[in-house]
Each structure stands twice: as C-alpha cells, then as structure tokens.
Amino acid sequence: MTRNFLTILLAPAFLLAQDTVAPSVDEKVGPLRGENRGDYNIVQSWEFGYRFASLGGNSDKYRSDVNYHDGIRLLNSNLTVNSKDGHGRWFDEITFATQGLGNDPYESATFRVQKNQLYRYDLLWRRNDYFNPGLTVANGQHRETTTHGWQDHDLTLFPQSHFRLRAGYSHVADNGPALTTVQEFDSRSDATTVFRNIRRQYNEYRLGGDGEWKGFRFTVQRRWEYFKEDTSDRLTAATGLTQFARSQPYRGNTPGWMGNLYGERKWIAINARATYAGGRGDFVQNEIAIGTDRFGSAQNRQVLVTGNGDRPVVAGDFNVTLFPTGRLTIINQTAASNTRIIGNNFLQQFDNSTFTFNSLNFQFLGVRLVTNATDAHYRFTKRFDVFAGFRYADREIRSIEDQGSPGFPLDGVTGQQSNHTKAGVAGVNWIPLKNLRAHLEGEIGRNDNPFTPVSLRNYHALRGKLQYRTKTMSAGAGYQENYNNNSIQITAYSSRARSYSAEASWNAKSWVSLDTSYSKLHLDTIGGIDFFAGSPRSVEITGQQSVYISNIHAANIGLRFALKKYADLYVGYNLTKDTGDGRGSPFTSAITFAAPATAVAGTLASAQTFPLTFQTPLARVSVRLNEKLRWNLGYQYYGYKEDFGLFLYNQNYRAHTGYTSLLWAF
Amino acid sequence: MTPLRIILLAVPLCALAQTAPKPENKFVGSLVCKTCHPDVWLNFNKNPHYRSIASGKEAPDKTGCEGCHGAGGNHVAAGGGKPTIGAFSQMTPDQALNTCLECHSKDISRANIRRSAHTEADVVCSSCHSIHKSPTPKFLLAKQQTQLCYTCHATIRAQFEMPVKHRVNEGVVQCTDCHNPHGSVAPTWRTGVSSAMLAPAHDNEQPCLKCHIDKRGPFVFEHAPVRVEGCDSCHMPHGSTNAKLLRRPVVFTVCLECHNGAGTFGRTNAGVVTQSPSHNMLDPKYQKCTVCHVRIHGSNTDPTFLR
C-alpha cells in the first residue's frame, strides 16, 4: 500500500474527526522558532564578550570563593538542529551548548547527537580552576592552584528498541602546583613546607546493554576503571630541612559489573540490582630528607615503602512494590552490601645511613550492612494522602590493625562493632485549598551503638512545607529541624539544626517578574572533648566542651523588567550573614572557663562561632540592537567581611566584577 | 405492597438509570489534536516524545498526544474540555506518575522512584518536567535544573550562595551530579536511613568520589569514618561559611569532637583514640591538625596519616 493511497484513505477520517472540534481559547499560537534549512530546523545563539574584575582586600580568599578575572570570553552559546519529520538522513537532533569558554574558571560544554531508533551520543565536558589558600586550615602551607577537568561520553545504540547497547567513557584529571608539609625528623618538629606537583588521572570505560522480554527488562553493565597518581613533592632548601624529595606513584584499577532486573504488572513491580566492584591499588613511595633535627644534630633519612590495597565491594538490592488497590502502595526494599578493605605495606626507613627500621603493616576494615525499609502510602481523597514507614539497618564493622617487623609475629589489634538502627517515618500531603499544598513529615530513629561520637544516635527530623502556586505566582514556606543526641556516660554530644525558609516568585506580566527567598539556618552543637595542653608540660584536660553556634540569615531577591521588545533589566541581591552567637570579638566574658586550662578554654571559645557577612548585589541589562543582535552588560559586587578573623587572619575582600557582550541569536 | 407491584415500579426506574450507553472513547491520532493545539504541535518535532510518532510503528495508545493523554475521541466529541481527556493538571500525583512510568519505569535511574522522598511528598514527574514548554533541550525540565530545584529547596539555595561552596550557581556542578531526583538505591555507607536521594558513584560509593578521585583509595590505612559514615561526617557538602566546607571553622574541633577516647566508638570498639600527649594545644602548630596529618582521608604509608 503506497503512502499516497494511505493518505487518501485516511483523509476522510481526519475530516470526520475534525467536525466537532472547537477552537482552544486559553492557549495562543506560538511562532515556529529558528530557521528551516532543508529537512532541519536550526536555532542558535552565541554570546561573545569581555569579563572584567577589580579587587580590593584579600585576593587569595577572592580567588578561593569567586575567581572571575579579566579576559575575552565566549560567555554562552547554544545550538540545536532538529529534523522536521524525525527522519533525518544522518541525525535527527544535535544540541550543543557552552559556558565560559576562553579561560573563565568555570567552563563547560555539552553535546548530543542522535538518530531516532539508531543511536544517541552524549558528551559533557567541564573544567574548573580551583584555588585554595588553606590559610585557616593550614597556615597557607597547603596552598593549591589546580585545574580539575571532567569528561563523560555516552553512546547508546538502538535507543528506542527492546535491545539496547551502551558504551561510555569518563575521564577526570587534577593537575597543577600546590604546597604541602612534611614533618622531619620526629613528631615534635615543625612542619616544613614543600612544593608539590599534582598529577592525577582517572579513566573509566563502560560497556553494557538492556534487553526486554515479556515485560521484564534486564540490564547488565561491565566497567573498567583506572586511576593513577604521579604527584611528587620536592624542596631544595629550608631551615632545618635542607633537602627533601618524595615520589609516590600510585596505580589503581577497579573492574566491576552491575546487573539490574525490572518488571511491572498491574499490581506489582519488582526491581533487583546486584553490583560488584573490585578496587585495587599498588604503590611505591621513595622519600629522602637531609637536614638537622630540632636538637641541631645532622640527619639524613630515606624511607621506602611498597604495598597494595584491595577493596572488593558487593552490593545487592531487592525492591517489591505492591498496588493492592488504586489508593494504596506498599514498598519494601531489602539491601545488603559487603565492603572489605585489605591493605598491607612494607616500610623501610634508613636513618643516617646506619640505623635501619623495617616494618610490616596489615590492615583490614570490613563493613557489612543489611537494611530493610517498608513504606506504605495511602490516598484517602484526591487532596489528602498519608505515608508511613519503618527502616531497619544492621551493620557490622570488623577491624584488624597489625604492625610488626619482618620475621616476627604481627602485633594485632582487632575490633568488632555491630550496631542497629531503627527508624520510623510518617508524613501527610494535603491540599486544603485549590493551589495550596501542605506537606509534613517526620522521622525518628535510634542507633544502639554509633560508630563515632558525632554519628546519629537518638535523632529526629521534622520537615514541613506549605506551597501556594498559580500560573503567575508561587509562594512557599518551610521548616526543618534535625536533632541528634549522642550523649553517653563520659562524653556528651548534641546537635540541633533548625532551618526556616520562605520563598515567592511572581510573573505578573510578560514584562515583569520577581523572585525572592529568605532562609534562616540555625545550628548549635556541643561535644565533650579530651586533649593535652599546659605549660611548661602538657597534661590531659577533660571536662571541656567543643561548642559551635551558627545563625545564618540568607536572602536573595531578583527583579526582572522588560521594556517592550527593546531592553531587559535584571537587578538582584544575595546576602549571607552569620550572626554567630551574637558576640563581636573572638573572646567573650559570658563564657566561663573550666579550670585548669583557662588559656585553652579561651582558644576553644574563639572557635565557637564565626560571624561574617557575604553579599553580592548584581545588575544586568540587555538591549535589543536588531532582530538578531543584543548588547548585554552585567555587574556584580562581592563583599566578604568577617567580624573577627580566625587565628587573627583577616581574609576580607571586596570585588567589582562584570562583563559586556554581544549576543547573536538566530 | 405486593412483590409484583414493587417489580413493576422498579423496572422503569432501572430503565431510567440505564440511559444510553457511553460511547467508546476512540483514538483519533495526533493530527486531530493539532487542529486546536497548534502551538503544542508546531515545535513538537523537537520533543523527544515525537520519536514515537516518527517511528510510525507504535500502537495508538503508545504514540503522540494520546500516548500520554489517553484516547481523544470523547474530548473531540465534547468540543474540548479537561474532564474528557487525560489532563495532567487534573490527575492525582500518583496518576500522573503512573502515566509517565508506563514507558519510563524501565531505566535504572528511575527504578527506585516509587520509594523516593519526592514521590512520598507528592512531587511527581509533572512537578519538575514540562513536556510542552520546556526551556531545556535535554530532559524537558520546567526550568534550568538549578532554578528548578531551588523552587522547593530554598535552604539549599542559601547554602550554595555561601562563600565556600560547590560551584552549582556557576554552572560547573549540577544537583544531579550527586543526587538522583528519581530516588536512589540503598547506600553502602552510613546505616541506610538518611541518604535516600544520593546517587552512589560507581554503583556503591559516595557521590563525592566521582570527582574527588584522590580520596577514593583503597588505602592501606583508611580513615575509617570516611568509609563507614561518609564524607559529611566532617564536611558540609553544599556550602559553608568555613574553609574546605568543614563543619567547624577550625580544624582541631572537627577532630577533637571524635578523638575523645570515650565510649565504644571507633573501629576497635573502645573509643576513638585521643591525641598524643606530645600535642600541646596551647601551641598554635597543634591547632591545625592537617598541617602534619596531611593524608587525613587515607594513607598508604602511615597509620597516623602523616605522609
């Protein structure tokens, strides 16, 4: 039967069907976007411009937080090519988009090409210039300026068929100079800064497929991952340490596979997954240090280490979803995983070419986790539904720490810890009025033997949300609290986090819109600590507490105006203000220090809170020059101010940044 | 009243109730829909759902407008109107979800959607995806991804606007790099309670390790909480006012809150070991623990992470 004949045959049917059609009244006919070229429709835009930045204050902190700088950029670009009838010769869709190309610190590009029924290829490329002065965490001795790059490639063959093939490749790389520290020749000496050349690379290859048979879909994927690090550390001269060099090449690989089975019927759906990843890493370390120790004696030391680490991980999940009635859904998930980390090394240390120290190390850390979760969701009416669930987790952690010399038995320290978490969740969704939705849920849990003093033990969470939404506006408010109390006989730890939020957006007309939100994030924690301090000799100090109080007010507002077709204006303001515990200086008389370590307690008090203000007002204007060309101008101010610096460091800065660009769209 | 009279009276009532049978709702084809909804149709060739039309092989209930909205015969006969068609705005959240899952349930990324926190909160497909008016060429999102998530998660937005943060607003990191908005598998770290929407890396690992490749290991000497409890034991993953996204403004309180020797915590079940007596906390050099313990995430050569 020819296509023309079919058309003739079907035409009366269409005419018949159209007899009773009434025109739609609430939807307007939109123009066809882009340009038609042959069998394709093409839409594209390119925005070229110049970015500028002017800075006052701490430039290191600015580079760490913001990092925009001067230069010519391809700020944005977008290209889509679509076949008009879904039957393009080589492809049916191409999408290509970029951001920040030309040396912005945040660059990305995406690309997709596909031919219906035949193939689909996706690429995501990203690059991030990373800078961190490491001032408050490491005295600036861990300063780092690196480039982090990602690539993800995914190819699917026969994407719409019952049998699909998939292949993929991902690449991650870190490169750049940095500083790090070494501590020679004993644990009481000062740390010396050394140069570091960071070189890391990760490659992953994926191959798999999906098959569908009688309503069940089976997926299998095989992956091969390779990681290598060739970072080296070097120093030529410093006080105490006159020569230092270290290389520690590492080669890791993780072969793995994953299988998934999915099936659904009217009253039941099942989903089963199993994965295995067999991580392994081999390493060598060669370190040489020459200098004088803290007593002034000449020292030279060489350390050689070889070894490897294995981490096989097996995990499986089984989900059953039941739909006994149209109103009720019951879901049960059972999952089990087993992680075993086995590592050993052989360390040889040569001091002053005479004394030799050898050690053998064996370490094992095993984590076995079994979880089960059951949830039920019942819809009473179209506007009211409830859900509740119970979760159970059984975890066992086994540990072996062995160290010894070759030829002698290892001196093993073994440990075993098991813990169980039981948690209940419940919630309600309610639409009390048209367009108004309310959601409330809570979770309460108990862990009988948490792994760390800051882990969840007796905890609860509450979340509530109210949202009103129409075609032109939306408004919402939310509350969330997460409380945890992990106090035991000797140490007391509690954490209380509360957040309040409200947001609204309003698209009054096509030429004006408003978007705003406010959040308050409160956190107060208190934990018992134990440490050594004192003068002239340090003694163990107990009874002190680590307190942290944060009260962050965050607000943002954005207002957009369109002046007919000629110009768009956007103004916005973002504010983050931590008022801390209300004090204006690192020390406060309101805090009483427990004897005997008043000076130490003072140090603790200065780290209890960290009030600061970070604000970023911005404005953008876009002027239409002709049908295809617009001129854009943007400005953003960054102001960072700490009420008092940590460790007496002042990292305040203010920066004026902006760009001017031409946008060519057609 | 005799039974006969009752029957005689009831028969007309029953007949009245059985009015003319409802006409069968027939499939009419997408070209009919185009007549009244040309704005939807004009750019529909760019929509991923157009593939079902382009293939020309799908059954009427699996293709075009009626593939999602159901048969349009009654809608056409009634001259339009939402009650006569499967309008998503009129559906309950689970109806909307199940309609989309007719075709989209089979991908692994959506395998756990029915037990996701979004589904429990009645946030379903049509809450985030705009099938006909999406501004994004991929995934048919109702807004750009970041703005879409911020619509409900205002407190997360606040965290990404802090001075120290992952670069989500800058466009180089996306929410879906770490989260699966369709629901995730059970994690292999923590105790499986609070990580419902995290997308594990490489099937089993914390999502942080997708990018922070040097922290992955395996190491001979693992810092156990990193593997057992996760990176967020020490870090705030979205944003923070503290350097390195730490939970505290200074490093030593992060460390000392665990290393207090108390209770049955830690890998040996005998408390997390306290710091060495040689460390005098009055000396500023001991207040920045990671200056010496440079390999705090794990080391191959030193059990105390010094090299």
Q: What is the DSSP string of chain B?
A: --HHHHHHHHHHHHHHHS-SPPPP-----HHHHHHH-HHHHHTGGGSTTHHHHHH--S-GGGSHHHHHH---HHHHHTTS-GGGTT-GGGS-HHHHHHHHHHHHTTSGGGTTGGGSHHHHTT--HHHHB-SSS-SSSSTTBSS-HHHHHHTT-HHHHHHHTSSEE-STTTTSS-HHHHB-TT--PPPSSTTSSS-TTB--BTTTB-GGGGT-GGG----SEE-HHHHHT-GGGTB-SSEESSGGGBSSSSHHHHHHTT-S--TT-TTTTS-PPPPPTT--TTSGGGGSGGGT-TTTTEESS-TTS--
Print burial letters for A85-106: b (CB count within 10 Å at least 16), e (below 16): ebebeebbbbbbbbbbbeebbb
A640 near A65, Cβ under 8 Å?
yes
CB-defined contacts A:B, below 8 A:
512
Question: Which pair of structure tokens corresponds to residue A629?
Answer: 């060309």
Q: Does residue B12 have a pLDDT over 70? A: no
pTM of the model: 0.90
Mean pLDDT of chain B: 86
Mean pLDDT of B13-17: 48
Query: Is the bond preceding residue A185 a cis peptide, omega within 30 degrees?
Result: yes
What is the rounded distance in angstroms from the CA atom of residue B154 to the CA atom of residue B140? 22
What is the rounded distance in angstroms from the CA atom of residue A440 to the CA atom of residue A478? 10
Mean pLDDT of A86-108: 93
**B229 pairs with which residues across the strands?**
none
Question: Which pair of structure tokens corresponds to residue A391?
Answer: 């979760």
**Interface contact flag, B306 A183, Cβ < 8 Å:** yes
Report which residue type is found at A400: I
Check residues B4 and A422 and name the one with the higher pLDDT: A422
C-alpha of A187 from chain center: 35
| Domain presence at residue A369 | no
SS3 content of chain A, % helix, strand, coil (to 5): 5, 70, 25
Mean pLDDT of B115-141: 89
A610 near A578, Cβ under 8 Å?
yes
**Interface contact flag, B46 A80, Cβ < 8 Å:** yes
Select from B106, B222, B258 the Cβ nearest to the Cβ of A262.
B106
pLDDT of residue A444: 95
| Domain presence at residue A198 | yes
Q: Any chain A CB within 8 A of the CB of B87?
A: no
pLDDT of residue A21: 30
Q: Calculate the dihedral angle through the C-alpha atoms of B198, B204, B206, B210, rounding to the nearest 10 degrees.
A: -100
| Domain presence at residue A430 | no
**Interface contact flag, B120 A441, Cβ < 8 Å:** yes
Mean pLDDT of B163-181: 93
| Domain presence at residue A301 | no
**Interface contact flag, A452 B37, Cβ < 8 Å:** no
Q: Distance (Å) from the C-alpha of residue B155 to the closest C-alpha of chain A?
A: 6
**Interface contact flag, A269 B36, Cβ < 8 Å:** no
What is the rounded distance in angstroms from the CA atom of residue A70 to the CA atom of residue A76? 16
**Most confident region among A342-351, A613-622, B198-207 by mean pLDDT:** A613-622
What is the rounded distance in angstroms from the CA atom of residue A162 to the CA atom of residue A435? 40
Q: Any chain A CB within 8 A of the CB of B174?
A: no
Select from A150, A532, A574 the Cβ nearest to the Cβ of B211.
A150
Question: Which pair of structure tokens corresponds to residue A479?
Answer: 């509350």
**Interface contact flag, B105 A264, Cβ < 8 Å:** yes
| Domain presence at residue A248 | yes
Question: Which pair of structure tokens corresponds to residue A238?
Answer: 């410093």
Report which residue type is found at B225: P
Q: Per-residue confidence at B194, pLDDT binned at 50, 70, 90?
A: low
Question: Which pair of structure tokens corresponds to residue B217?
Answer: 């290991």
Select from A106, A303, A532 the Cβ nearest to the Cβ of B280.
A532
Q: Does residue B290 have a pLDDT over 90? A: yes
pLDDT of residue A186: 80
Check residues B41 and A175 and name the one with the higher pLDDT: A175
Q: Which has the closest alpha carbon to A503: B239, B123, B144, B152?
A: B152
Mean pLDDT of B156-177: 94
Q: In this structure, what are the phi and psi dihedrals at residue A533, rounded to the nearest 5 degrees?
A: -165, 165
Give contacts of B193 with chain A, Cβ < 8 Å: 391, 393, 421, 423, 443, 445, 456
pLDDT of residue A239: 72
Report the residue of chain B nearest A468, measured CA to CA: B152
Q: Which residue bears the tokens 């049908």?
A: A627
Residue A250 CB: number of other CB atoms within 10 A? 21
Select from B229, B269, B285 the Cβ nearest to the Cβ of A452.
B229
Q: Burial of B134 by CB count in 10 Å (0-12 exposed, 13-18 middle, 19+ buried)? A: middle
Report which residue type is found at A203: N
Question: Which pair of structure tokens corresponds to residue A431?
Answer: 């639409």
| Domain presence at residue A72 | yes
Select from B46, B250, B301 the Cβ nearest to the Cβ of A305.
B301
**Interface contact flag, B229 A252, Cβ < 8 Å:** no
Give contacts of B219 with chain A, Cβ < 8 Å: 281, 309, 341, 343
**Interface contact flag, B42 A548, Cβ < 8 Å:** no
Give chain A's end-to-end CA distance (angstroms, integer): 41
Q: Any chain A CB within 8 A of the CB of B296?
A: no
Q: Per-residue confidence at B241, pLDDT binned at 50, 70, 90?
A: very high
**Mutate which of A115, A304, A455, A583 to test chain B, going by most B C-beta atoms within 10 A?**
A455
Q: In this structure, what are the phi and psi dihedrals at residue B58, rounded to the nearest 5 degrees?
A: -80, 150
What is the rounded distance in angstroms from the CA atom of residue A237 to the CA atom of residue A529? 39
Question: Which pair of structure tokens corresponds to residue A506?
Answer: 């309003």
Q: Distance (Å) from the C-alpha of residue A596 to the closest C-alpha of chain B?
A: 13
CB-based contacts of A145: which residues, under 8 Å, 6+ apart? A129, A130, A131, A176, A177, A178
pLDDT of residue A9: 37
Domain count, chain A: 1
pLDDT of residue A522: 96
CB-based contacts of A401: which residues, under 8 Å, 6+ apart? A363, A412, A413, A414, B267, B268, B303
Measure Cα distances from A380 to A323, A327, A384, A503, B172 in Å.
Answer: 15, 7, 6, 29, 43
Measure Cα distances from A473 to A96, B103, B143 in Å.
Answer: 32, 32, 15
Question: Which pair of structure tokens corresponds to residue A392?
Answer: 């159970």
**Mutate which of B213, B259, B264, B286 to test chain A, going by most A C-beta atoms within 10 A?**
B213
Q: Which has the closest alpha carbon to A421: A491, A371, A489, A462?
A: A371
A419 near A395, Cβ under 8 Å?
yes
**Mutate which of A32, A154, A531, A606 to test chain B, going by most B C-beta atoms within 10 A?**
A531
pLDDT of residue A236: 67
**Interface contact flag, A521 B108, Cβ < 8 Å:** no
Q: Per-residue confidence at A594, pLDDT binned at 50, 70, 90?
A: very low
**Interface contact flag, A554 B161, Cβ < 8 Å:** yes
pLDDT of residue A8: 38
A121 near A96, Cβ under 8 Å?
no
**Interface contact flag, B280 A534, Cβ < 8 Å:** yes
What is the rounded distance in angstroms from the CA atom of residue A415 to the CA atom of residue A364? 10
Report the residue of chain A nearest B242, measured CA to CA: A610
**Interface contact flag, A106 B170, Cβ < 8 Å:** yes
**Interface contact flag, A223 B202, Cβ < 8 Å:** yes
A568 near A530, Cβ under 8 Å?
no
pLDDT of residue B21: 55
Select from A108, A534, A604 the Cβ nearest to the Cβ of B171.
A108
Residue A195 belongs to what domain range? 54-255+291-296
Q: Any chain A CB within 8 A of the CB of B227?
A: yes
Q: Does residue B109 have a pLDDT over 90? A: no
Lowest mean pLDDT among A553-562, B131-140, B146-155: B131-140
What is the rounded distance in angstroms from the CA atom of residue A527 to the CA atom of residue A453? 8
Q: Any chain A CB within 8 A of the CB of B280?
A: yes
Give contacts of A610 with chain B, Cβ < 8 Å: 241-242, 249
C-alpha of A490 from chain center: 35
Q: Which has the closest alpha carbon to B58: A160, A158, A86?
A: A160
Select from B43, B188, B269 the Cβ nearest to the Cβ of A33.
B43
Q: Does residue A61 have a pLDDT over 90? A: yes
Q: Does residue A110 have a pLDDT over 90? A: yes
**Interface contact flag, A456 B194, Cβ < 8 Å:** yes
Q: Distance (Å) from the C-alpha of residue A165 to the closest C-alpha of chain B?
A: 13
Q: Any chain A CB within 8 A of the CB of B191?
A: yes
Q: Residue A604: helix, strand or coil by DSSP?
A: helix
Q: Which residue bears the tokens 């205002």?
A: B154
Q: Any chain A CB within 8 A of the CB of B221?
A: yes
**Interface contact flag, A277 B203, Cβ < 8 Å:** yes
Give contacts of A141 with chain B, Cβ < 8 Å: 291
**Mutate which of B42, B47, B300, B306 to test chain A, going by most A C-beta atoms within 10 A?**
B300
Q: Does residue B4 have a pLDDT over 70? A: no
Give contacts of B295 with chain A, Cβ < 8 Å: none
pLDDT of residue A591: 45
Length in residues, chain A: 666
**Interface contact flag, B287 A647, Cβ < 8 Å:** yes
Print burial letters for B252-281: b (CB count within 10 Å at least 16), e (below 16): bbbbbbbbbbbbebbbbbebbebbeeebbb
Report the residue of chain B nearest A340, measured CA to CA: B218
Q: Any chain A CB within 8 A of the CB of B57?
A: no
Length in residues, chain B: 307
A227 near A261, Cβ under 8 Å?
no
Q: Per-residue confidence at B9, pLDDT binned at 50, 70, 90?
A: low
A59 near A653, Cβ under 8 Å?
yes
Question: Which pair of structure tokens corresponds to residue A642?
Answer: 């700490």
Q: Any chain A CB within 8 A of the CB of B32?
A: yes
Q: Distance (Å) from the C-alpha of residue B12 to the closest C-alpha of chain A?
A: 34
